[in-house]
Amino acid sequence: MARTTAAHEQGHHERARDARALADPRTGEAGPEPLDDLDPDLDTDLDTALDDDLAAGGHLSALPVSPRARGALLTGGGLVGFVAAFTLTIERFRLAEDPGYVPSCSINPVLSCGSVMKTDQAAVFGFPNPLMGIAAFTVMTLLGLLVLSGTRLPRWVERGFQAGITLGAVFVGWLVTQSLTSIHALCPYCMVVWAVVVATFWTTTADSLDRGLLPVPRALRGAARTLVEFRVLAAVLTYALLLALIGVEFWSYWRTLV
Q: Grade residue 7 by pLDDT with cuts at 50, 70 and 90.
A: very low
Euclidean distance between CA atoms 245 and 179, whole angstroms: 11
Task: Report yes or no: 185 and 110 within 8 Å, Cβ to Cβ.
Answer: yes
> CA 194, 108, 123, 181 torsion: positive or negative?
negative
What average pLDDT does the structure give for the chain?
A: 84
Kindly tell me if the per-residue pLDDT of 16 is higher than 50. no
Euclidean distance between CA atoms 161 and 140, whole angstroms: 8
What are the backbone angles phi and psi of residue 186, rounded to the nearest 5°?
Answer: -120, 145
Confidence (pLDDT) at 209: 95
Provide the residue type at 247 as one letter. G
Give the architecture-level CATH label for domain 65-257: Up-down Bundle (1.20)
Euclidean distance between CA atoms 258 and 254, whole angstroms: 7
Task: Report yes or no: 122 and 129 within 8 Å, Cβ to Cβ.
Answer: yes
Predicted TM-score (pTM) of the model is: 0.77
Q: What is the mean pLDDT of residues 5-11?
A: 46
Burial class (CB in 10 A: 0-12, 13-18, 19+), 111: middle
- The domain ranges of the chain are 2-54, 65-257
Q: pLDDT per residue over 75-121, tens digit each?
A: 999 999 999 999 999 999 999 899 889 999 999 999 999 999 999 99
187-222 in b/e burial notation, b at 16+ Cβ within 10 A? bbbbbbbbbbbbbbbbbbbbbbbbbbbbebeeeebe
The region of weakest confidence among 14-23, 190-199, 233-242 is 14-23
